[in-house]
Structure 1
């Protein structure tokens, strides 16, 4: 008996067996057992008598999207072996190809005892630690740090979906959906930073999903990357017309996808930093489409109308905007990377900065006019937000 994740092992074996049956001529062999006494390894070999893989290609077949020229007319995504090897490595094992005989033989080697047990879930790949004592005990802690940004992978091909998720899970918290309808359900509950979606899917395709995301005030701020095998100009234009932020042709480099995700997040962070640090930066600099602009203008209008009210709350804002407090939180957080309470406070401070430039009121008066309960607290908040006191800012701008 070997310690392994059943779902992950099933995925590996499913790929090896389906490939053997798909590419064999007449003969398939399967062997499994302990490698040798004292080795501590469990081994599975799956062999077939199909077209032999040349020695120079024995490592390439494990690369994402790589397909032998002899097999290009056989259906497949080209990522199954890459995913299978990744899952084997997660188990501290290895998947290799033996070309020393007349058969094409894939060999899977897994440790009998694990220090880490990896489980594959529908929404994300998480790890659980295992304490090795007299009996094996699996702890319930899920390694999904809150410091990770969340991304959503939407892809109907399970192998492709799992492959992308497995490649991204070290940098991001990964959620997974198999079509646009499932993706919208996740977006309604989670703080997603970037959506990576296939175009051609059942139930709801990527174009309709992107259109829904960009047309809905609660999600219109979320960047969308579309993946497609349709590399035509018309296909790209269709995606861009519904608001896609990036378009990547299949097959693609996983490193290129990672770079696009990282750039979208970093560019957003730079905009947010500039807005937060500059007293005179306007909130419209945070938005990139008309839906978000309309939302932020409506939000600001209500805050300005009540800016002298120190009791202005998230609940009051949510009711005025006809949103739940949770939806308001996700939207404001998504646009500004601030909680609604922080956004109200920063809006008060930015209004104060404009009033300081106009030089019609004393600093103490401005503090109360923008809803602060004391001048000292106002000065402390202003300096913490903008790196200078109200007096210093006023002397530089009047």
Structure 2
């Protein structure tokens, strides 16, 4: 912050810290909190002003104090500082950009460290933010200050190991505070992937198939509506729902965003519960389509133009033509190789002209099945059709690509709930 202060003609004062003074903390979280507090101090202090940071020990606590000679905050508004999207009236009137999430994030991160943040301020005189942490005992070196692994909080930047059963939400937002806020809100519900710009998001979708994209419109470089247009123009990604977020609430802007393929459009500041509901609705609509796409794979003949009309349960969510063609092509390839013992996922991906990862992600999103299960189910369904024609079990096993008839019988019973020799066409279990 020293170069920034010099550039803006402000003074940054620091005090010496006792090297034996230690706190229970996580380096990255502590860095994020202090960066936020210093950024705010710098932002709201005019040229010629002063900013200081110091630390002191009190009993079993350590206090890190960031103070400034800036515009200050009224007593009434100090009570609202640590809430979503709140900005003091004088901060807004100053014309300084912000969205009112930084202090909320800092407060929550301090709580993760079992600490707190307090504020003291006088309008037109300045503010003082105090980060309170628990004291730790230093033994041999500063390295011993680190929290034991069992107690160390997970940082916001740690890699996310997604639950494979969760839907994937891709968040595209250039504002770090808002992006991390939304990530924290949605991580308990979805597997959240966040990107700071549209180009990174498009590169991610070259190999991955998210359940939904939530994107800001106003971003440096490629804007969100243009990214949405590219997603919808690409047959491989056109079926992914896109919700756009923006501070532009003009009617023409909303219409333009929808014309570029957006599935929904939400203005900032938004109600988080409404946003949650809209995301859930879009993803649930996509899940309803799985019934349609799965039936494509399980039909003994490829669907006709009347297929959609025969499925009233999904009329509110019309199938995407590119997605339908994708499933139809994959189904046709499997059926053409139904008796080929050596046919596997790699050959299916080659015939689909897709990398294995993207094919897996897209097929799983559309049908709910992995490629291995997809191939196996089609083979078992075809086997059932052949058994109804009176063909012996051993011959059916060979004709549907199962080398071992005993293994075929095991899989068949697990899928249909009955041995193939006793199958009559009435399913007992289609799990």
Which category of TM-score, normalised to the shorter sequence, fits these structures? 0.7 to 0.9
* TM-score, with length taken from structure 1: 0.77
Q: Could you tell me which residue of structure 2 aligns to residue 161 of structure 1? A: 179
CA-CA distance at 1:265 after TM superposition: 4.2
State whether structure 2 residue 72 is matched by structure 1 residue 36: no
Q: Aligned match of 2:411 in 372, 381, 388? A: 381
- Residue 26 of structure 2 contacts residue 153 of structure 2 at CA under 8 Å; is this kept in 1? yes
CA-CA distance at 1:14 after TM superposition: 3.4
* TM-score, with length taken from structure 2: 0.72
Q: Could you tell me which residue of structure 1 aligns to residue 85 of structure 2? A: 65
How far apart, CA to CA, are the structure 1 residues paired with 2:423 and 2:373? 23
State whether structure 2 residue 217 is matched by structure 1 residue 196: no
Gaps spanning 5+ residues in structure 1: where? 127-141
Q: Could you tell me which residue of structure 2 aligns to residue 216 of structure 1? A: 234
Q: Deviations over 1:108-163 (max 9, x none)?
A: 2223444314434xxxx32xxxxxxxxxxxxxxx6635445543221122222222
Q: Could you tell me which residue of structure 2 aligns to residue 16 of structure 1? A: 37
Q: Aligned match of 1:230 in 237, 248, 251? A: 248
Q: Could you tell me which residue of structure 2 aligns to residue 132 of structure 1? A: none
How far apart, CA to CA, are the structure 1 residues paired with 2:415 and 2:267? 42
- Residue 29 of structure 1 contacts residue 46 of structure 1 at CA under 8 Å; is this kept in 2? yes
Q: Aligned match of 2:331 in 300, 311, 315? A: 300
Q: Aligned match of 1:88 in 106, 110, 114? A: 110
- Residue 199 of structure 1 contacts residue 228 of structure 1 at CA under 8 Å; is this kept in 2? yes
Q: Could you tell me which residue of structure 2 aligns to residue 97 of structure 1? A: 119
How far apart, CA to CA, are the structure 1 residues paired with 2:416 and 2:92? 59
CA-CA distance at 1:67 after TM superposition: 2.6
The structure with the larger Rg is 2
State whether structure 2 residue 325 is matched by structure 1 residue 325: no
Q: Could you tell me which residue of structure 1 aligns to residue 389 of structure 2? A: 360
User: In the superposition, relative to structure 1, how do residues 396 and 296 fare at CA in structure 2: closer, same or farther (>3 Å)?
Assistant: closer
User: In the superposition, relative to structure 1, how do residues 377 and 84 fare at CA in structure 2: closer, same or farther (>3 Å)?
Assistant: same
CA-CA distance at 1:229 after TM superposition: 1.4
CA-CA distance at 1:70 after TM superposition: 4.0
How far apart, CA to CA, are the structure 2 residues paired with 1:279 and 1:393? 18
> RMSD in angstroms over aligned alpha carbons?
3.7
State whether structure 2 residue 355 is matched by structure 1 residue 313: no
DSSP-derived class of the 1:119 partner: coil
Report the number of matched residues. Answer: 374
Q: Deviations over 1:200-258 (max 9, x none)?
A: 22222212222222333443443322211122344334333443333222111334434
Matches within 5 A, 1:39-58: 39-48=60-69, 50-55=71-76, 57-58=77-78
User: In the superposition, relative to structure 1, how do residues 241 and 106 fare at CA in structure 2: closer, same or farther (>3 Å)?
Assistant: same
